[in-house]
Amino acid sequence: MKTMKDIARLAGVSQSTVSRVLSGSAGVSPARKAKVMEWVRKLDFEPNFSAQTLAAKRSLLIGVVVPDLMNPYFAEILAHIEKHAARNGYNVIISNSAGDQKREREIIKSLKARQVDGILIGLSSPEAPLLEELKEQKVRTVIFSQEYDGIDCVGVSHKKGGALVAKHFLAEGIERFAFFGPAKDDKYLGFRETLIGAGIQKDKIEVIGNEDWWLTMLDRGLKSAIEYLSSVNTDLKLGVFSVNDPFALGIVHAAQELNLKVPEEVAVVGFDDTFVCLNVRPTLSSVSQPIEEIGRLAVEMLLKRIDESESNSKENHILLEPKLIRRETS
């Protein structure tokens, strides 16, 4: 491995000069600059990032934490994050939390030890204690899955998304409802609120997979979907709203397996509008989040924070509009 010292010796200048040339800081004569660059090219030199990080306290590294890499939503957003990060000279460390808070803490701790310049985090459900910690520790953080007071975030309003689905189901004349996912999710709050506001009785709204929903998720929800659908009374048309697309797919398949007609007997709407929605038959209705935009904005927000030396300014919240994309399952 070559070092700046080598370049300096070969180019006949001091190491400081090499550093100045490479960092693009002003105050180097064109002649010396050219000489340095010549050797940099000749040796295909690249400065050691660890040394740079140690000395400059800036790693050009961002950490991304997601609860489930297999969920196409997170895979897609990771792809966009990586693209924009790379474009700005940043590398991305990816960590999968599997929706486990303990693991999330460990990850964040280790990312800090790596001196990452910032963290982008997607949560699968609201986790106040963790976010509270994140706020205390002064790591620059942007959440791309939900809102939280005192932390930068970007995303759609899940509550509004839930409300959209409720309105849609009501307009279709549906009278029984189920939500697949954690009851504390904002999506469910918006869903339920709207239904109750429209005069629906509470006993017509059910939550499935509440506590252990994450475990249920891991096999894509098929099993618990079958369990639920086979136990439910189907004399009333059922409207099922799912916390995400893979899980919604599980419901559709469960319905098919039980010979229930979709959407005539069971209407299904997912969340995220990932590309799988179009890749399945029947095509899946879903609440759309502008994934690419969210990924881009999250990176931009974080880099802006990194640039401003003082972390004085108030947090930024960017809320985009969710949209219900109606397809064949609802």
Q: List contacts with DNA (CB under 7 A).
A: 1, 3-5, 12-17, 19-20, 22-23, 26-29, 31-32, 47-48, 51-52, 54-56
Residues in contact with its own copies, shown as a per-residue x/- string from 199 to 228 under the rule CB under 8 A:
---------------------x--------
> What is the smallest separation between the CB atom of 135 and DNA, expressed in angstroms?
23
Is 269 a binding residue for its own copies by CB under 8 A? The answer is no
DSSP string, 238-292: EEEEESSHHHHHHHHHHHHHTT--TTTTEEEEEEE--THHHHSSSPPEEEE--HH
Tell me the β-bridge partners of 121.
65, 143
Q: Which does 29 bind (CB under 5 to 8 A by kind): DNA, its own copies, none?
A: DNA
Residue 207 CA to residue 217 CA, distance in Å, equals 14
The Cα diameter of the chain in Å comes to 87
Q: CB 61 → DNA: shortest distance, Å?
A: 14
Should residue 113 be labelled a site residue for its own copies when binding is judged by CB under 8 A? yes
Which one of residues 41, 102, 281, 314 is an interface residue with its own copies (CB under 8 A)?
A: 281
Distance separating alpha carbons of residues 318 and 244, to the nearest angstrom:
21
Helix H segments across the chain? 4-11, 15-23, 30-43, 49-56, 72-87, 101-113, 128-136, 158-171, 186-197, 213-218, 222-231, 245-257, 276-279, 291-307
48 binds its own copies (CB under 8 A): yes
17 binds, among its own copies, DNA, none (CB under 5 to 8 A by kind): DNA
What tokens appear for 196 in the block? Answer: 């109750």
With CB under 8 A as the contact rule, the residue among 5, 42, 87, 112 that binds its own copies is 112
Q: How far is the CB of 129 from its own copies (least distance, A)?
A: 16
- Sign of the Cα pseudo-torsion (209, 213, 218, 220, in order): positive
β-pairing, 238-242 with 266-272?
parallel
Provide, rounded to whole angstroms, the least separation between the CB of residue 16 and its own copies: 19
Task: Work out how close the CB of 8 gets to DNA at its nearest, in angstroms, rounded to a whole number.
Answer: 8
Q: Which of residues 285-314 bind its own copies (CB under 8 A)?
A: none
Residue 9 in tokens: 């010796």
Total residues at interface with its own copies (CB under 8 A): 44
Residues in touch with its own copies (CB under 8 A): 44, 46-51, 53-54, 59, 61, 69-70, 72, 75-76, 78-79, 82-83, 86, 91-96, 109-115, 220, 246, 249, 253, 275-276, 279-282
